[in-house]
């Protein structure tokens, strides 16, 4: 099977966060990739939120389930 299709089939969102900070350079690369990813009906709508505050992460994780 095509690697892209296989990758997309295995995608899942996990909202359990580690205490490890991610370098801003890596975040910028990930944001660029996300902005260039295809969207439904090529509508280009998306919401990307970068959260670095520990308490806010805990609140998101708690409310995700």
Cα 27 from Cα 19, distance rounded (Å): 15
pLDDT digits (tens, 9 = 90+) for 9-64: 988 877 677 788 899 999 999 999 988 887 777 676 778 889 889 899 888 878 86
Nearest to 13 by CA among 32, 29, 34, 28: 34
Q: What is the pTM of this model?
A: 0.57
What is the SS3 assignment for 4? helix
């Amino acid at each position: 099977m095509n690697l892209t299709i296989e990758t997309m089939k295995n995608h899942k969102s996990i909202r359990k966060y580690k205490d490890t900070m991610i370098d801003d350079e890596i975040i910028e690369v990930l944001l660029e990739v996300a902005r260039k990813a295809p969207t439904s009906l090529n509508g280009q709508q998306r919401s990307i939120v970068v959260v670095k505050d520990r308490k806010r992460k805990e609140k998101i994780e708690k409310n995700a389930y």
